[in-house]
Amino acid sequence: MRNLILGGARSGKSRLAEQLAQDSGLAVTYIATSEPLDGEMNARVQLHRQRRPDHWALIEQPLQLAAVLRAEAAPGRCLLVDCLTLWLTNLLMLEDDQRLAQERDALLDCLQSLPGTIILVSNETGLGVVPMGELTRRYVDLAGWLHQAVAERCERVVLTVAGLPLMLKGPAL
């Protein structure tokens, strides 16, 4: 089953995803897309590391998400990707629209054929005011379009607010 878990900053989305992975009873591989380039981001990464069980495998991949998913997905395995919007940001900052489109299309093309359990975490950024800067507007637009396309390909979509999961699509948790 493919799961998309959306939510704002500190909404509980990652914690929910980790709980789903743990409850699956499957071997879990955590795919981290962040690049902790400053102290604040490094602190966020450390929080996530402390919460994860030691026996989970870890792959750090900031750009080639589809390739990792294709290589690692298997029946009886759970892949947890945290998070799609950091991955999108990494691609956006390359300033290579062709690469961004290639990686996005590769992800969307492979999602429905992946075996096992897939849990994708992403930040919902489209609930606020329209951003002032061109780059920020582009990011919000790209994230919104990505979420729509991924949600279409997932059996379950959850919006997490204040630590509470709101079912948008699929079977209840």
Nearest to 62 by CA among 85, 44, 96: 85
**Is position 12 annotated in a ligand binding site?**
yes
Supply 70's token pair. Answer: 């294709």
**Is position 27 annotated in a ligand binding site?**
no
**Is position 32 annotated in a ligand binding site?**
yes
**Active-site residue (options: 1, 22, 27, 48):** 48
**Is position 34 annotated in a ligand binding site?**
yes
**Is position 57 annotated in a ligand binding site?**
no
Contacting residues for 87 by C-beta, under 8 A, at least 6 apart: 33, 62, 63, 65, 81
Angle at 169 (CA atoms; ends 139, 65), nearest 5 degrees: 45
Known catalytic membership, residue 55: no
**Is position 35 annotated in a ligand binding site?**
no
Phi/psi for 101 (5° steps) reads -65, -40
Q: Per the annotation, where are the binding residues?
A: 7-14, 32-34, 49-52, 60, 82
Which sequence positions are flagged as catalytic? 48
Q: Per the annotation, where are the binding residues for GTP?
A: 7-14, 32-34, 49-52, 60, 82
